[in-house]
């Protein structure tokens, strides 16, 4: 079986959660005999065709971007051409141009869409986009919610309940590098023996201002990994608060990220809006057996992190509650260790790449058969 994935960004241009999810789906289903290709847009030039982790990536130039909606006229022709040799076309939502391209390319192959997130911020544009969105979701053969929590809390997904199934993201720890002793020693010297860790793109919905406000009331060391559009704003906020125990280390490579995941005491994940539909880096923390602090926003973050079991879940946008949760873990190492152990067990039971790949392979076969 041949599957074509279509999304606006992918490696090596972008390293976010959706890109990691696509990569893990491709690698996991490849072990089950599925051939994957990815069609994506690039703003950085470079080769039109690459091979990454055993799957082919086709890259076309980005022409214009409006309100995060990347567009490429060449992608329509490429989608039409590549879809002809695919058994299933796999879209990744939200991406309004991707919906439009589906119709302009006249894709007639069985199709599924992974619904990564509701559209939360662009309310005015959503009113204009809504007819196309619903036409697209009605047209595809299967829709995947990334957690039961998100399916239950999304008005859009509930509208298509009969064709929606929940397939949580999964990770393969074997695809992560082993940290070298030298790198572990470097970060131990930089960050100390105990610290909270955040990993992610620095975007508005990540709630890092809430974490910084919480740290104004306590002095626990925190390492913030990532870059993004509000990086300077966050650094200025930390400066205004006089925070001396927060380290912004910028974007790091996989070896450094794994070293920090290995060394950290707990994960701090303050995302406060539904744009955070799952939380890949939160799952990475669980995979490394770390206790977690997250907010209840009705999404997959509370499917990964179970309050009182694998960590602590607090109300969103509540710095005092987030700080209290940090204090609870910091002052009770035995509790933190037990929660981290249960987080690792939950990862192995529900969030492995093998389980996700098997679920997606079954869905591909189902939609291909029903459309035959």
Per-residue pLDDT reduced to its tens digit, 237-252: 999 999 999 999 999 9
Rounded Cα distance, 349 and 120, in Å:
31
pLDDT at position 165 is 96
* Rama region for 148: left / alpha / beta (φ>0; ψ in -120 to 50; rest): alpha
0.85 surpassed by pTM: yes
Instruction: Tell me, yes or no, whether 234 and 358 share the same domain.
Output: no
pLDDT in tens, 93-131: 999 999 999 999 999 999 999 999 998 777 777 788 999
Residue 335: is the preceding peptide bond cis (ω within 30°)? no
Average pLDDT over residues 89-94: 97
CA distance 164 to 187: 43
pLDDT for 284 equals 96
What number is the average pLDDT over the span 200-218? 95
SS3 361: helix
- Pair 167, 237 in one domain: no
Q: How big is the CA angle at 95 (ends 85 and 120), to the nearest 5 degrees? A: 155
Beta bridge partners of 58: 39, 49
* One domain for residues 154 and 97: yes
Task: Express each pLDDT in 273-319 by its tens digit.
Answer: 988 999 999 999 999 999 999 999 999 999 999 999 999 999 999 99
Q: Does residue 257 share a domain with residue 358?
A: no
Q: What is the pLDDT of residue 51?
A: 97
Of the pLDDT bands very low, low, confident and very high (cuts 50, 70, 90), residue 371 is: confident
Q: Kindly report the average pLDDT of the chain as a whole number.
A: 95
Please report, for the domain that includes residue 120, its CATH number.
Answer: 3.40.50.2000
Give the number of domains in the chain. 2
* Whether residue 280 is found in the same domain as residue 359: no
Domain range for 335 is 173-351
User: Would you say 41 and 9 are in contact if contact means Cβ atoms under 8 Å apart?
Assistant: yes
| pLDDT (tens digit per residue) in 24-81 | 999 999 999 999 999 999 998 889 999 999 999 999 999 999 888 999 999 999 999 9
Q: Quote the CA–CA distance of 13 and 41 in Å, as a whole number.
A: 9
111 and 192 both lie in a single domain = no
In this structure, the answer to whether residues 145 and 290 fall within a common structural domain is no
* Domain co-membership, 43 together with 85: yes
- Residue 372 pLDDT grade (very low, low, confident, very high; cuts 50, 70, 90): low
Q: Are strands 246-250 and 222-225 parallel, antiparallel or unpaired?
A: parallel
* Whether residue 132 is found in the same domain as residue 105: yes
186 and 70 housed in the same domain = no
In contact, 286 and 343? CB cutoff 8 Å: yes
């Amino acid at each position: 079986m041949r599957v074509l994935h279509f999304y606006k960004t992918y490696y090596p241009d972008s390293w976010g959660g959706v890109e990691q999810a696509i990569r893990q789906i491709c690698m996991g289903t490849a072990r089950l005999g599925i051939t994957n290709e990815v069609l994506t847009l690039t703003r950085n030039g470079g080769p039109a065709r690459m091979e990454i982790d055993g799957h082919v990536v086709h890259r076309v130039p980005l022409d214009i971007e409006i309100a995060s909606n990347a567009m490429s006229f060449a992608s329509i022709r490429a989608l039409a051409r590549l879809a002809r040799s695919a058994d299933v076309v796999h879209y990744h939502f939200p991406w309004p141009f991707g919906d439009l391209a589906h119709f302009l390319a006249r894709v007639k192959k069985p199709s599924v869409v992974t619904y990564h997130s509701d559209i939360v911020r662009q309310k005015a544009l959503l009113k204009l986009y809504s007819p196309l969105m619903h036409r697209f979701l009605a047209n595809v053969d299967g829709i995947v919610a990334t957690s039961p929590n998100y399916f239950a809390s999304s008005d859009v997904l509930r509208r298509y309940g009969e064709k929606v199934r929940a397939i949580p993201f999964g990770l393969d720890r074997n695809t992560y590098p082993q940290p070298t002793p030298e790198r572990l020693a470097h970060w131990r010297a930089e960050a100390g023996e105990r610290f909270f860790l955040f990993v992610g793109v620095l975007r508005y919905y990540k709630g890092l201002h809430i974490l910084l406000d919480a740290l104004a009331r306590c002095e626990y060391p925190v390492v913030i990994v990532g870059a993004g559009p509000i990086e300077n704003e966050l650094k200025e906020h930390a400066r205004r608060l006089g925070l001396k125990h927060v380290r912004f280390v910028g974007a790091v490579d996989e070896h450094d990220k794994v070293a920090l995941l290995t060394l950290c005491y707990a994960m701090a994940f303050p995302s406060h809006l539904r744009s955070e539909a799952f939380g890949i880096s939160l799952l990475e923390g669980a995979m490394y057996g770390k206790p977690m602090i997250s907010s209840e926003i009705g999404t997959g973050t509370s499917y990964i992190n179970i309050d009182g079991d694998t960590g602590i879940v607090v109300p969103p946008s509540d710095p005092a509650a987030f700080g209290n949760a940090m204090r609870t873990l910091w002052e009770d190492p035995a509790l933190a260790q037990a929660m981290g152990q249960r987080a690792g067990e939950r990862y192995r039971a529900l969030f492995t790449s093998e389980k996700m790949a098997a679920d997606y392979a079954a869905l591909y076969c189902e939609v291909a058969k029903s459309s035959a």
